[in-house]
Copies of this chain bind each other. A is one copy, B any other.
Amino acid sequence: MNKTLIGGLFAGAIISAGSASAQTGEVLADTSFIFNTMFVLICGFLVMWMAVGFTMLEAGLVRSQNVAMQLAKNIGLFSIAGLSFFLIGSALQNPQGVWSIAGLLSGQALGTTGVEALDAGRIDGQNLSGAANFFFQLMFCAAAASIVSGAVAERVRLWPFMIFVLVMTGLIYPIQASWSWGGGFLDSIGFVDHAGSVVVHTVGGWAALAGVIILGPRIGKFADGRVNPMPGSSLPLATLGIFILWLGWFGFNGGSSLMAGTPEDIVNVGRVIVNTNAAAGGGALAAMVLTQALFRKVDLTIVLNGALAGLVSITAEPMAPSLATAAMIGAVGGCIVVFAVPLLNRLGIDDVVGAIPVHLGAGLWGGMVAGVTNPNGSIIAQFAGIAFTGAFVFVVSILVWFGLRAAIGLRFPPTVELEGLDINELGMEAYPDFVLRSEGS
């Protein structure tokens, strides 16, 4: 009896302690879930903010006669991306076993996987809500399209561009993203890309390069064998855009491990943030010093793009490097911009905002150097990832741009382009109260 009593009491004590222990474990998992979901949502807000940064940057770097069109394209692409990524892209990017083109062709990768997970609240395999993950991934997909928008500015018609965005955000981006981030073959061979130097930025860059090649340069850009500068309408807007991107990048890189729910996770996030900031500063300073040294004048546009190139460069591996290494990786990115901008001009490629030097140039550098800085990285795997992604995106983009040109045409009549897209195509002006210099001529 005594023993029984003791046993009973003891059992009670064990249960009590055990349930406390279990409850504690439960608290841990639930608390982590809340931390992860809340932080990924907040980081998603910051990445959404990058869409605004791209819009302001591009509105500032196009001529005033085409500003309203650029604004329309950017709010349009962000809206389209939400639709196409929901209807097709999300399921393609997370095919759960049937990724890649085979899955697409067989129809197995199409469907509502992403949406079901979203509706279910929680997603498998990751400790955050389906909606938070969907929102974060959607913002990345939209960012890739924003990159294209700037390069092809001042000449592409609105609706063909919108169709390209539909294909890019619904098919091109998600398919290649599944290879790296959806459990696909690039993930299997050890390709690493924390937040998308390759998966987002080179992808945007390749699609942009395809676009400007098929489109051709703006009228007058390369007239008479010279490169004619066509300065943007507002450097304050462009600077605002860059700073918005800089801020947004803390969410882009900081949220990309989708984890903030343990002390280790949040320590890693902190390292990512300081490295991201150091790389941006390194890129801006390198561009500032280099343009002073080479051209005897600091070039503000290149400094702005240098900061952006620094951000792109660190994105593939912002966690492992030391702060000094991160600054140097960013500085190399800034230097790439200084040399790539005139190179493109020499090649007769007209990239209005410098998107290709920044996102493709620095993205390639960032993707390769991650093979060294990431402890699990390999140069070969990085090269393979870059090559497969680039070949797929560039070839498909060329085909889509070419098909659009053949089917419905991409450009305006020359008079429209010369007079300005805003007044001709939208019937409005971006700054109707102001006297423009072009009006005198």
Contact = CB atoms under 8 A, between A and B. Distances in A.
A239 to B, nearest CB: 4
Interface in A384-441: 425-440
B33 A244 contact: no
A360 to B, nearest CB: 23
B76 A303 contact: yes
Contacts of A316: none
Given A79-B280, A235-B68, A235-B430, A425 B240 contact: no
Given A82-B278, A135-B273, A267 B37 contact: yes
Interface string A238-273: 011011101100100010000011110111011101
Contacts of A429: 231, 235
B281 A82 contact: yes
A59 interface: yes
A271 B130 CA distance: 9
B307 A79 contact: yes
Nearest to A72: B300
Contacts of A324: 86
Nearest to A75: B284
A115 interface: yes
Contacts of A86: 278, 323-324, 327
A274 B7 CA distance: 54
Contacts of A2: 2-3, 6
B307 A75 contact: yes
Top 6 nearest A-B pairs by Cβ distance? A131-B270, A79-B281, A16-B17, A82-B281, A13-B13, A17-B17
A132 interface: yes
B30 A262 contact: yes
Nearest to A78: B281
Contacts of A67: 235-236
Given A9-B10, A284-B79, A298-B158, A122 B71 contact: no
A56 B235 CA distance: 11
11 contacts: A3-B5, A6-B6, A13-B16, A19-B21, A23-B24, A72-B288, A86-B323, A118-B274, A231-B432, A234-B236, A434-B434
Contacts of A118: 271, 274, 323
Given A51-B243, A135-B273, A33 B428 contact: no
Nearest to A15: B17
A100 interface: no
B433 A55 contact: no
How many chain copies? 3
A63 interface: yes
Most buried by B among A25, A56, A131: A131
A428 B378 CA distance: 43
Interface stretch (A39-47, A217-225, A367-375): A39-47
A49 interface: yes
B432 A233 contact: yes
Contacts of A64: 433-434
A87 to B, nearest CB: 8
Given A79-B285, A235-B431, 4 more contacts: A2-B6, A13-B14, A56-B236, A131-B273
A299 interface: yes
Nearest to A438: B433
Contacts of A5: 3
A149 interface: no
A239 B71 contact: yes
Most buried by B among A12, A20, A65, A427: A20
Nearest to A434: B434
Given A30-B262, A64-B434, A75-B303, A269 B55 contact: no
